[in-house]
Amino acid sequence: MYKNIFNYQNHQVRLVIQDGEPWFVAKDVCEVLGITNQGNAVGRLDEDEKQTIRLTDSLSRNPNMTIVNEAGLYALILGSRKSEAKSFKRWITHEVIPSIRKHGAYMTSETIEKTLSNPDFIIGLATRLKEEQEARAYAEEQLLLQQPKVQAHDRFIDAKNYQLMRESGKSLGIGEKKLYAFLRALRLLNHKNEPYQMYVNEGYFVVKQRTFGNSSLFNVPITYVTAKGLDYIDKLLERNGGARHINGMTVAQISHYFGNKSVDIS
């Protein structure tokens, strides 16, 4: 994975890029925000806003680190009573996030100068980004509570509405990341977890643009599953051992097994 360490008012904050998205080390963010009870603060976040990874560096003796995504970061900022929280949020939304969207990494002026003047530096940077993309299927997954399978999908979603992949996973009894891995392996979704157009045309998915940021706005595509799509995915899971069986596999196992298996997706 691609790692970066930046300084904010004499605080070092570690950032990890996963699938092109920024994740921040929760411990570092809490220290900047003056949050003393980090466990409680992180515990209040939604499951999809945090995850635990192994991060080996000189800043921590414990390699198991909790990281938070943008939504989790903003939730921590809102929970801080420190006066610096507002300026920290502005710095994140006006400098760090726009830089990542533009360059694929947080690029300070010094980093950009190195990139332009040192070919070896940019080769190394590109290599790390490539390794992150190749390793995304092997990233450590967060644990999700397995939900009982519900046969009547219209109890959760009707034909005119749609739901997020996380909610679909709960309806089907499979974790969100494992469901993403399954659909990528069957080539219904691309590496960005966006559906291929033919499956949008079939009415299985809907893609909507969500806007983030304040003055520096950017759009992020969000994939939703329709009622028709939920029924279709349920049938695919049943044909391949069922949601419970697949949920017992790791993301890496799902990606490898179904990615190399001929599966009928008609």
Dump pLDDT digits (tens) for 60-115: 667 788 999 888 888 888 878 787 788 888 877 777 766 665 545 544 445 445 44
Q: Does the reported pTM lie above 0.85?
A: no
Instruction: Read off the pLDDT of residues 2-36 as tens digits, 9 standing for 90 and up.
Output: 567 777 888 888 888 877 678 899 999 999 888 88
Average pLDDT over residues 42-67: 81
Instruction: Give the DSSP letter of residue 190.
Output: -
Residue 202 phi, psi (nearest 5): -75, -15
Query: Would you tell me the crossing angle of helices 227-239 and 165-172 to the nearest 10 degrees?
Result: 50
For residue 130, give both structure tokens.
């490539």
Cβ-based neighbours of 55, under 8 Å, separated by 6 or more: 3, 14, 16, 25, 63, 64, 65, 67
Q: With pLDDT > 70 as the criterion, what percentage of the chain qualifies?
A: 68
| Dihedral angle computed from the Cα positions of residues 26, 30, 31 and 37, in that order, rounded to the nearest 10 degrees | -110
Tell me the sheet residues that pair with 50: 68
Domain edges within the chain: 2-138, 153-259
Confidence band for 122, pLDDT divided at 50, 70 and 90: very low
